[in-house]
């Protein structure tokens, strides 16, 4: 049984999310997107956990929670660990999966002894990765701890601003309890294969949907292949790889931290060009925010293009709403985009069905040729993307007119810039 899962989302009490988020709303959009399993998000927040208990029924045999209509959820949250180690400030985010409401209560009680949990769905604690992992494993061996979006600069295991150079450095003797790593939007599995230290971990992808718009969920997902959906089956797949069928990714350039740059100065450059400027912004002369590709180049012990033997397959795809916004020359949250989106979706079972399975003939019966051809080009991995940088999303490009202007072109007389894409 193939299960498309998004096990890293957020509820209405996390920053930059909609107050209208609810379990029924999340279920609705999971079905639209084509996700078969969701994380609950934010189970430590006192108001959200009450909402979860009212809307989800716990099955003690499977460890899976279900809505009244039978849609499955897994108890999940994200925690921000901010502390000092080896004379450097560290900021690492982790995703937690839990087997029951009772275990969630014990996790929450532990965190309440360390600080507040009521101000944000993703609370912050001054706890090291080592102490955090050791304590949670004492609460329950069935708790799963997954380092989140491991490459992003500000809040990640390998982040350029506050991370570590190795997983061992971060987790010490507790690394034995870490089974999987979340790649994040700005990297894909192939980029992670370049680090031999990551070979023993399963690579997973989830949306980390921090948005006012629930349709951002499942933009990345992990596919399980299980005989029966159970919590233990999911954890076993994360530990062994057996039952983990692969991932659905966005193009890593779409992520907000793929390239190096400065948002305020409109500087977006590759790691190679950053080295030319000694990692200093050529406009304001302050340090650049070094992106994911830069960090991978720093830590990689294998060449670009290295293929890991027996690695799980993955598919790179840009969300349908993003494609339509670009083609219709507007933003995603417009009636124009959603009229076309809904028209297309009426003919198929879900967005993933459109993006991954729909035939050319079927697509051309419900939309115009240009949109149909772009969906197929997207499926084949042939779309170009202006890389994201310093918190700015990457931009799918369909013509030269979509290329943004950059101040770097004024700094250098002979700057090829993003026209190299064509």
CATH code of the domain covering residue 20: 3.20.20.140
Q: Does residue 401 fall inside a structural domain? A: no
Planar angle of CA 98, 82, 289, nearest 5 degrees: 115
E-assigned strands of 161-213? 180-182, 202-204
Q: Give domain status of residue 65, yes or no.
A: yes
Same domain, yes or no, for 347 and 248?
no
116 and 189 in a single domain? The answer is: yes
- For residues 69 and 198, state if they share a domain: yes
Asked which of 205, 230, 254 is the last residue of a domain, the reply is 254
- Is residue 420 situated within a structural domain? no
Same domain? 240 vs 329: no
Residue 408 has what pLDDT? 60
Domain that holds residue 124: 2-254
Confidence (pLDDT) at 421: 36
Cβ(124)–Cβ(111) below 8 Å: no
Q: To the nearest 10°, the Cα dihedral for 184, 186, 191, 195? A: -60
Is residue 263 in a domain? no
In a domain, 178, yes or no: yes
Q: Specify the DSSP element, H or E, that contains 33.
A: helix 23-33
Q: What is the pLDDT of residue 19?
A: 85
Do 355 and 212 fall within a single domain?
no
Please count the other Cβ atoms lying within 10 Å of the Cβ belonging to residue 203.
27
Q: How many domains does the chain have?
A: 2
Residue 279 belongs to a domain: no
Query: Exposed, middle or buried by CB within 10 Å (0-12, 13-18, 19+), for 228?
Result: exposed
Tens of each residue's pLDDT in the chain, 422 residues: 999 999 999 999 998 888 889 999 999 999 999 999 999 999 999 999 999 999 999 999 999 999 999 999 999 999 999 999 999 999 999 999 999 999 999 999 999 999 999 999 999 999 999 999 999 999 999 999 999 999 999 999 999 999 999 999 999 999 999 999 999 999 999 999 999 999 999 999 999 988 767 778 999 999 999 999 999 999 999 999 999 999 999 999 999 999 999 999 999 999 999 999 999 999 999 999 999 999 999 999 999 999 999 999 999 999 999 999 999 999 988 999 999 999 999 999 999 999 999 999 999 999 999 999 999 999 999 999 999 999 999 999 887 666 666 666 555 543 444 434 33
pLDDT of residue 417: 44
pLDDT at 401: 67
pLDDT of amino acid 196: 98
Q: Are 329 and 184 in a shared domain?
A: no
CA–CA gap between residue 55 and residue 41 (Å, rounded): 14
Looking at the fold, whether 334 and 246 belong to one and the same domain comes out as: no
Evaluate whether 279 touches 289 at the Cβ level (below 8 Å): no
Quick one: 113 and 214 in the same domain?
A: yes
CB under 8 A, 24+ apart: contacts of 152-155:
152/184, 152/186, 152/256, 152/257, 152/292, 153/257, 153/289, 153/290, 153/291, 153/292, 153/295, 154/91, 155/80, 155/91, 155/92, 155/93
- CA-nearest of 252, 237, 409, 364 to 317 is 252
**How far apart are the C-alpha atoms of 63 and 236, rounded to whole Å?**
13
Residue 277 forms part of a structural domain: no
In a domain, 83, yes or no: yes
Residues 216, 336, single domain; the answer is no
139 and 246 inside one domain: yes
| Residues 329 and 248 placed together within one structural domain of the fold | no
pTM to 2 decimal places: 0.94
Sign of CA dihedral 210, 37, 316, 95: positive
What pLDDT is recorded for position 420? 40
363 token code pair:
């697509």
Phi, psi of 102 (to 5 degrees): -65, -45
In the prediction, which pLDDT does 16 show? 84
Residues 89 and 299: their CA atoms lie apart, in Å, by 19
End-to-end CA distance of the chain: 41
């Amino acid at each position: 049984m193939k299960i498309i899962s998004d096990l890293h989302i957020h509820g209405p009490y996390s920053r930059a999310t909609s107050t209208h988020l609810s379990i029924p709303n999340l279920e609705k959009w999971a079905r639209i997107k084509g996700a078969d399993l969701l994380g609950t998000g934010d189970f430590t927040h006192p108001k959200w956990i009450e909402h979860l208990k009212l809307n989800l029924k716990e099955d003690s045999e499977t460890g899976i929670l279900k809505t009244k209509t039978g849609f499955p959820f897994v108890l999940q949250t994200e925690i921000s660990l901010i502390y000092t180690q080896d004379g450097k400030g560290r900021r690492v985010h982790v995703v937690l999966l839990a087997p029951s409401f009772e275990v969630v209560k014990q996790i929450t009680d532990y965190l309440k002894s360390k600080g507040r949990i009521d101000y944000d769905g993703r609370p912050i604690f001054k706890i090291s990765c080592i102490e955090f992992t050791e304590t949670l494993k004492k609460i329950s061996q069935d708790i799963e701890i997954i380092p989140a979006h491991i490459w992003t600069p500000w809040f990640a295991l390998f982040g350029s601003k506050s991370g570590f150079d190795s997983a061992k450095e971060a987790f010490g003797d507790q690394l034995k309890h870490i089974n999987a790593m979340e790649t994040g939007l700005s990297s894909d599995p192939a980029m992670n294969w370049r680090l031999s230290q990551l070979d023993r971990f399963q690579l997973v992808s989830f949306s980390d949907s921090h948005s006012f718009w629930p349709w951002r969920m499942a933009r990345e997902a992990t596919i399980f292949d299980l005989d029966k959906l159970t919590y233990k089956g999911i954890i076993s797949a994360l530990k062994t790889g057996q039952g983990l069928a692969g991932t659905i990714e966005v193009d890593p350039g779409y992520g907000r931290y793929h390239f190096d740059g400065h948002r305020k100065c409109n500087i977006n450059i590759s790691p190679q060009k950053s080295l030319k400027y000694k990692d200093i912004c050529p406009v304001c002369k302050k340090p650049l925010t070094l992106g994911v590709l830069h960090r991978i180049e720093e830590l990689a012990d294998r060449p670009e293009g290295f293929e890991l033997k027996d690695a799980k397959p993955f598919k790179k795809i840009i969300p349908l709403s993003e494609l339509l916004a670009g083609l219709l020359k507007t933003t995603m949250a417009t009636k124009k985009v959603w009229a076309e989106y809904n028209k297309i979706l009426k003919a198929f079972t879900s967005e993933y069905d459109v993006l991954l399975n729909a035939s050319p003939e079927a697509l051309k019966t419900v939309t115009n040729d240009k949109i149909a051809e772009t969906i197929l080009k997207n499926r084949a991995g042939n779309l170009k993307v202006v890389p994201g940088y310093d918190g700015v999303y990457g931009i799918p490009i369909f013509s030269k007119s979509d290329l943004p202007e950059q101040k770097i072109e004024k700094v250098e007389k002979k700057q090829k810039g993003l026209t190299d894409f064509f």
